[in-house]
Amino acid sequence: MTLLPYFEAMNDLPVSAAIRESLWVIAVINTMHLLFLVMFAGAVLLVDLRLLGRGAREQPLSDVARDAQPWLIAALIGLTLTGIPQFLSNALREYHSYLFWMKMAVLLVALTYTFTLRRYVTLADEARVGAATRRAAGLISIALWAAVVIQARLIGLFT
């Protein structure tokens, strides 16, 4: 059982071919994906720096996290909406790319982590979660998301 036929079908969709064959459409989509990535990186890093004790220390962690949340969600929606056409137009290339599967695996872990453990630590009462736990939570977040971005960039260079 292999996913290859599904990837071939997605690769052959009229919309995939249309994106592939128009140079400026993919350029616009790639650029928008990068702008949403910048927003996402800002919203994540703002809170991670605070978790590391290097951000806005005078402010409760949960306030910083609540403020960042709408930008994080908006950026994720933008990344998904621009990422899907990027994927469709290159479905077959992505299927054969080791880096693509690695990115998706780490992305799944990073998303799950961000909306469960990290969310719990950022919204919990600061007296109940130790500084070491917060620091670890911030470092894990930075490591996971950096890995996603690095692999994403390398897909374009090594496939």
Partner 1 sequence: MDALPGSIAIRESQDLYSWILTSHVVSMCAFAGLVLMMDLRLLGIGNMRTPFSQVHRALFPWQIVFMTGSAITGLLLVYAEPLRFYSNFLFWIKVVLMLMASINALAFHRGTYLTIARWEAKPMPPFGARLAGAVGLTLWAGVVVAGRLIAYNWFTMP
Residues that bind partner 1 (CB under 8 A): 23, 27, 30-31, 34-35, 37-46, 49-50, 54-59, 63-64, 66-68, 70-71, 146, 149-150, 153-154, 157-158
Report the nearest approach of partner 1 to the CB of residue 5 (Å): 32
What gap in Å lies between CA 48 and CA 51, rounded to an integer? 5
Report the nearest approach of partner 1 to the CB of residue 66 (Å): 7
Report the nearest approach of partner 1 to the CB of residue 8 (Å): 27
Q: Can you give the C-alpha Rg of the chain in angstroms?
A: 18
| Pick 10 or 75: Cβ nearer partner 1 | 75
What gap in Å lies between CA 132 and CA 137, rounded to an integer? 9
3-state secondary structure of 146: helix
| Pick 62 or 133: Cβ nearer partner 1 | 62
What gap in Å lies between CA 100 and CA 157, rounded to an integer? 12
**Structural contact between residues 82 and 28, judged by C-beta atoms closer than 8 angstroms:** no
| Pick 57 or 96: Cβ nearer partner 1 | 57
| Pick 12 or 63: Cβ nearer partner 1 | 63
First to last CA, the chain: 24
Report the nearest approach of partner 1 to the CB of residue 113 (Å): 19
Q: Which residue has the tokens 């917060």?
A: 134
